[in-house]
Amino acid sequence: MTQERYGRIVLLRHGETAWSISGQHTGRTDLPLTFNGEDQAREAGERLRKRFPDGFLPDHIFVSPLERAQSTARLAGFPNYHVTAQIAEWDYGAAEGRTRAMMAQALGVQSWNVWDNGPLELPEDLQGEHNEMLPDGTVVHVVNGPGESAEEAAHRTATLLESLEPIVAGGDDVLCVAHAHILRLLTTVWLGQPADFARHLELDTAHFAILGFHNDEHVIQAWNL
């Protein structure tokens, strides 16, 4: 099979939320898009249609179950899709809803990031549940559970990639609409890299990346468009 006959896997991150502005870790908390995030999603759809004028078949569009991802898909012009928990955001556990600075203060350390000290390494006394009000008055329920490791989150994406393989091998493109960390972890699986490699990838709100092939090898064809 020649390179030109392969399809591509397009990864679209959702638009802006209140916590993407504040820097709070946003895993399973079901935040809505901000008004700016809604505009970002529409603009992302326009950029995608320029890059992929033939679009994507509804059967080849996969979206996280979280509302910020589904809203982004709809506003970008893709109202028909499959919902899959395989690309729900990484479960940050006790770090959910907390910034890096808040985590460092809670742990009594100078600095903290999720790549160095993942959710499974955090103390149980940081777990619990509470409600939090967003700047627009929306109340969200925050669950600080045990979380999952980066490797466990990456494994979830691997199961999706297995199902996508025959689609792209047949020459059709696929669109996945989800979240920054889980899409970065999916990329590490595509490249055959350890989950920790995802720390070196950055994907901005409502930006997309393209995974594909070069000489039958899995590659990143474009990033953060």
Catalytic site residues? 14, 89
- Residue 199, judged by CB atoms within 10 A of its CB (0-12, 13-18, 19+), counts as middle
Q: Which residues have a Cβ under 8 Å from the Cβ of 119 and sit 6 or more positions away?
A: 91, 92, 93, 94, 95, 146, 147, 148, 149
Instruction: Kindly give the pairing relationship between strand 82-83 and strand 208-214.
Output: unpaired
Distance CA 144, CA 29 (A): 10
Q: Is 179 exposed, middle or buried (0-12, 13-18, 19+ CB in 10 A)?
A: buried
